A and B are shown apart, each in its own frame.
Chain A
Amino acid sequence: MDRPYGMLAELTYACPLHCPYCSNPLNLADYREELTTAEWQRVLTEARELGVLQLHLSGGEPLQRRDLEKLVASARDLGLYTNLITSALALSPRRAEGLKAAGLDHVQISIQADEPALSDRIAGTPSYGRKIAAARLVKELDWPLTLNVVLHRHNIERVGRILDLAEELGADRIELANTQYYGWAWRNRTALLPSRAQLDGAEAVVRAARKRLEGKMEIIYVIPDYYSKYPKPCMGGWGQKQLTVTPTGGVLPCPAAHTLDLPRATVREHSLEWIWEESPLFQRFRGTDWMPDPCRSCDRREVDFGGCRCQAFQLTGDAARTDPVCHLSPDHQVVAEAVRAANEGAERGEADLIPRVRTTGGLESERSVP
């Protein structure tokens, strides 16, 4: 069995943003009993012993945890490469300096667009100015900077200007990743899925920018898998390379796997080693024995591992079916239908986005986007 290389630590699901493609679970009320500092430190130690070398600190918004600096320092002591994935709203000079002193290796900041009005509208809160200030601060403190941009129907035509902004900020890398349709993004799929013309335009811009910026800025571009012929090799295979720990200590093969009807595994009851090696959850879709046709006999079964289990569940109700994104899937028509609708709707103007609603302390607040 392979050892995991990377662990995504979702420290909290609290977040100041209301992005319409939020990937966090819908039922945030189930995640209030967050792991303590000492519990996280134990998880980090067990992760390193298991083979994890990269720690991605995410959420929600990881800066909402006041012990973030302490956790980074512990991770560095263990020899983990630490990567902060943040909205950066709370990245004040004081906290940035604290994280630098703790040994944080790399910062990834999300931006929603290249200009304030659209960016703030997508984020559901005024945030653009603080994000840009934080990006400059990251560079001043001599950290490597990655910008993360989730692409969708409302911002994909601005990719050129987003790349210009990244260049101006001195970003070392930019990830332009089209939305994945789970959780809250699933509710907004019609409003988010771009048209083929939009994708073609963005790809041409990305190709030209890659050439122009070679050796200066790395550009990662991820198309929406609805438009690909084959599914994505989700997480590099179920329980093969990565694991996710949720704010309350649940351990998952991928961050969306909480949606599946599978036995749970938590660090509050078991060691990370047991969960990785023995738990029914991590065994369920490991390897190729579980595969149905057409995956079972497919040459690509060790390339894309049957695609994404969560997407198969989302689109067919059965997590053990072939990912319907694959053109060989017997269920492919459900994806083809969504793509057809997105292209017929190409000229009907912008559909409404439903901003993410977050529950805090039992109070639910509806927000609307102007």
Chain B
Amino acid sequence: MSVAVLSTNRPRLARQVRLQWDPVRERQVLLEPEGVLVLNQTGATILGLCDGERTVVEIVEELRGRYNHVAGDEVRDFLTRLVAKRLVELGDG
């Protein structure tokens, strides 16, 4: 039932969520009405790039410039899970 994330989509954080640094846990966290998502570094970087302007392809390229191993499918899976939870919204390609 989940929405497929296309390479041409331009993801952005949903308006009810906030991405911020937690100095207590020393991790990036995504805050939403009923929960907290503690992010690993890759997840935090991906969400930091979800500005509604970059496409998924551009986000993957940007990640490849920063990390050695980046699988496009994994990035799309990660975004698909967050879209299903309504934490990320998709702008059209």
Query: Chain A residues in contact with chain B, CB under 8 A?
Result: 3, 5-6, 48-51, 53-54, 79, 81, 83, 105-106, 108, 142, 144, 146, 172-173, 214-215, 218
Contacts and interface: CB of A to CB of B under 8 A. Distances in A.
Interface residues of B, number: 17
B86 interface: yes
Contacts of B35: 54
A190 B25 CA distance: 46
A6 B36 CA distance: 9
Contacts of A79: 20, 22
A105 B16 contact: yes
19 contacts: A3-B25, A5-B36, A51-B22, A51-B24, A53-B31, A54-B31, A79-B20, A81-B18, A81-B32, A81-B33, A83-B33, A105-B16, A105-B33, A144-B15, A144-B16, A172-B16, A172-B86, A173-B34, A215-B3
A218 B24 contact: no
6 tightest Cβ-Cβ pairs between the two chains A and B: A144-B16, A81-B31, A106-B33, A51-B24, A5-B36, A53-B36
Nearest to B21: A79
B24 A49 contact: yes
Interface of B: 1, 3, 15-16, 18, 20, 22, 24-25, 29, 31-36, 86
B5 to A, nearest CB: 13
A349 to B, nearest CB: 37
A58 B1 CA distance: 35
Given A3-B25, A53-B29, A54-B36, A214 B1 contact: yes
Contacts of A83: 33
A215 B86 CA distance: 7
A48 B24 CA distance: 8
Contacts of B1: 214
Nearest to A210: B1
A214 B1 CA distance: 9
Nearest to A175: B34
A3 B38 CA distance: 12
Given A144-B15, A215-B86, A173 B24 contact: no
A235 to B, nearest CB: 14
A146 B31 CA distance: 16
Q: Which of A53, A83, A173, A215 has the most CB of B within 10 A?
A: A53
A102 to B, nearest CB: 15
B15 to A, nearest CB: 7
A144 B20 CA distance: 19
A106 B36 CA distance: 14
Given A51-B25, A214-B1, A215-B3, A146 B20 contact: no
Contacts of B20: 79
Contacts of B18: 81, 105
Contacts of B25: 3, 51
A51 B31 CA distance: 13
Contacts of A142: 15
B28 to A, nearest CB: 12
Contacts of A105: 16, 18, 31, 33
Given A144-B33, A172-B86, A173-B33, 17 more contacts: A3-B24, A3-B25, A6-B36, A48-B24, A51-B22, A51-B24, A53-B31, A79-B20, A81-B31, A81-B32, A81-B33, A105-B16, A105-B31, A106-B16, A106-B33, A142-B15, A172-B16
